[in-house]
A and B are shown apart, each in its own frame.
Chain A
Amino acid sequence: QVSLQESGPGLVKPSETLSLICTVSGQSITSYHYWGWIRQAPGKGLEWIGNVYQTGATYYNQSLGYRLTMSLDTSKNQFSLNLHSVTAADTGVYYCARVVWMWEPPNFYYMDVWGKGTTVTVSS
């Protein structure tokens, strides 16, 4: 049974860096799955942040990419998100998720296991 758990500070000051960790249990992060971050502003819909692959390759939402860093820590079976120069618009619930992307037919892509989410508030 795979489970994901987000952790990090609940309060970040404007212009600082938001750092979150997702700890994966029940599966090695170096297996064939990929890993993603998604966020949700208060009362709003879901916004994809980015994916990190087992090779360490990353794909970011273009609207956030210049502020983003995502990486894997295989020794701790974790992956992380760093969002720089945050503003109040970055306030919300941040989810990590396991991404299934089949390179061979049928080439499915979906997020099948999600963490419970962690709330981050950007405020001075």
Chain B
Amino acid sequence: EIVLTQSPGTLSLSPGERATLSCRASQNVRVSHLAWYQQKPGQAPRLLIYGTSTRPTGIPDRFSGSTSGTDFTLTITRLEPEDFAVYYCQQFDNSRAVTFGGGTKVEIK
């Protein structure tokens, strides 16, 4: 099973600041099989990024994704009040299994 380790567990930032969230995979993950989700309290997760760096229609361009080897990064260039939430990375592997990272909470400083 591929383990995804997200860091930090909590990120305390102010609106307007830049957020950098990390997701490290225990084995190689196909770029096309890595996604990011945003979850607010009491809500279902929302797809933010798929294929490591592709934004679905309607997702603002302040959200971006990138990778370097087994390290994946979600960047929010300028935090808006509505961006304070928990973020999860997710991968799909060759055995057709899915795993999620433990999540990073972005909270208001």
Which residues of A pack against B, CB within 8 Å?
36, 38, 45-48, 51, 59, 61-62, 95, 100-102, 106-112, 114-117
Q: When the two chains form their complex, are residues A48 and B100 in contact, meaning their CB atoms are under 8 A apart? A: yes
Interface centre among A95, A100, A114, A116 (most CB of B within 10 A): A114
Q: Does B32 touch A at the CB level, under 8 Å? A: yes
Q: Kindly state the separation between the CA atoms of A38 and B1 in the bound complex, as whole angstroms.
A: 17
Given contacts A108-B32, A109-B33, contact A51 B98 (CB under 8 A): yes
Q: When the two chains form their complex, are residues A109 and B35 in contact, meaning their CB atoms are under 8 A apart? A: yes
**At the interface, is chain A mostly helix, strand, loop or mixed?**
strand
Q: When the two chains form their complex, are residues B44 and A114 in contact, meaning their CB atoms are under 8 A apart? A: yes
Q: Does B63 touch A at the CB level, under 8 Å? A: no
**A51: chain B residues within 8 A (beta carbon):** 96, 98
Q: When the two chains form their complex, are residues B32 and A47 in contact, meaning their CB atoms are under 8 A apart? A: no
Q: How far is the CB of B38 from chain A (nearest CB, A)?
A: 11
Q: When the two chains form their complex, are residues B101 and A107 in contact, meaning their CB atoms are under 8 A apart? A: no
